[in-house]
A = this chain, B = another copy of it.
Amino acid sequence: MSQPLASLVILDRNSAQPLYLQLSSQLMDLIRSGLLQPAQQLPSSRQLAENLQVHRKTIVQAYDELLAQGWLESRLGSGTFVTTHFPESKPSLQTSFDPLQTAGFSFESKPFLQRPPLLTQGSYHLDDGFPDVRLAPLLDLSRAYRHELIRSNAYSRLGYGDPRGSRWLREQLSLYLNETRGLHTSAGNVLIVRGTMMGFFLTSTAFVKPGDYVALDSMSWSGSTLNLQQAGARILHVPTDEDGLDVEALARLCQQHPIRLLYLTSHHHYPTTVALKAERRMKLLALSQQHGFLIFEDDYDFDFHYERRPLFPLASVDTHGMVLYCGSFTKTIAPAFRVGYLVGPEDAITHLSQLRRIIDRQGDTMLENALAQLLEEGVIQRHLRKALRAYQQRRDHFAELLTSELAGRVRFRKPEGGMAIWTQFEGEVNLTDLSRRAFKKGLYFSAGSQYSDSRIPATRLGFASSRPEELSECVRILKSCL
């Protein structure tokens, strides 16, 4: 070694890592990189301690460590040496290569998976349709979670559980879904997932093979499209009008291709919020039976419907086991709580739960039980009634603001439910520019490019997460940018 060893080692006395571990780690790096060669002799512990100005014990500890691990060998009477058995390696020539930045193995990144991060940090927001988390029953949730944790100091309760999710939550959810949505499920029909995203990931991974034809609304949720691209599906777009999906157009597609799956937001179409009419629902179910395709019914905000009763889901009249029904607590409590449910025929649910087991084993048992407790106590139901009243008021207020403040600038239909108004801008508006200008003034809204590739200047403006006075400020900023 041309350089003395001490000059290659840098010890940081302020680090939380003990000095001897810093030294042993750096010696390994030196051996690894070839700066210390196999069979090379190391300085004595006394000499190295002097050079590094540390206690000799530190050097002895580091050497002992490396001796025990097989990096060094001790030869009686002659000192300490780098093990001879190592493969020789030359100091790397790629000095600019940083293994913390760049993988040494090859891989292809997938452009479709590269999505910009969500920017929702503005003071004001007209978002995709999120709930107002200030209304969420967080204290109740905290109490229930704490209760779960404290009573759970037991082997079986904190061990591995059922990949289908907490039995308690599956039972409570069955009751709740049967009551509110006219379903006829029991716990065996329910798989607890981590939101609609996982529900559709499981479905597309388990049931769609590369090359399969899958039908989607021409405007749709990006999460469904991304998962279908990942599954290698051939995507067919079906037009949507003001009564929802054009089922006749779908019927024509079925004549041309074997359809494997239809992804559908039947209740409040995403993004446009229109409801699929009953007549079309019946035709759709008949079509799915006839052609054998499964329907993934994403009912992301069923509980938020302001005019008369919500439409029962397709799943409630599915007599042939063609529908997988999916919902989540994202809109009920907050997006950060990743709990949702997939409901369907027991054999399909079992199959999906076997796949789920190798993805993340199971959900968060504590949180699932806490939610079951809140459902059993009626806390979630009371929260939903309270939120529904607040959101209806906000919808009405926001619709009035759009009409009075932005007359001639925007077109919209007041939605019967949901948390956002589908808003089309009149004339040659560049929504990307508009949303950037608004963001600089503290208002976030989406430029709408995630809904489809079409060039209509239209987007979802979510009203539920803002109080009426906040909505007024939102519209004031938006108006000032137009």
Contact surface of A with B, Cβ cutoff 8 Å = 15-17, 21, 24-25, 28-29, 31-33, 64-65, 68-71, 83, 85-87, 89, 92, 97, 99-107, 109-110, 113-115, 117-118, 120-121, 125, 130, 133-134, 136, 138-139, 141-142, 145-146, 149-150, 152-162, 175, 178-179, 182, 184-186, 189, 193-195, 197-198, 201, 206-207, 223, 226-227, 230, 277-279, 282-283, 285-286, 288-289, 292-294, 308-309, 311-312, 316-322, 334-338, 344-348, 351, 354-355, 357-367, 465
Contacts and interface: CB of A to CB of B under 8 A. Distances in A.
A32 B206 CA distance: 29
A194 B282 CA distance: 40
Number of chain copies forming the complex: 2
A107 B158 contact: no
A100 B184 contact: yes
B289 A104 contact: yes
A117 B354 CA distance: 11
A177 to B, nearest CB: 11
A69 B103 contact: no
Contact of A321 (B104, B227, B345, B364): B104
B358 A226 contact: yes
Contacts of A277: 70
B175 A153 contact: no
A321 B103 contact: yes
- Among the interface residues A28, A105, A320, A338, which one has the most CB atoms of the partner chain B within 10 A? A105
A70 B278 contact: yes
Contacts of A175: 16
Given A102-B345, A125-B155, 6 more contacts: A21-B182, A85-B279, A105-B292, A120-B160, A337-B366, A338-B363
Going nearest first, the 4 A-B pairs with the smallest beta carbon separation are A70-B278, A99-B321, A158-B334, A194-B360
A345 B16 contact: no
A348 B201 CA distance: 21
A133 B154 contact: yes
Contacts of A101: 321, 345-347
Given A92-B319, A320-B97, A197 B358 contact: yes
Given A68-B308, A104-B320, A322-B104, A361 B338 contact: yes
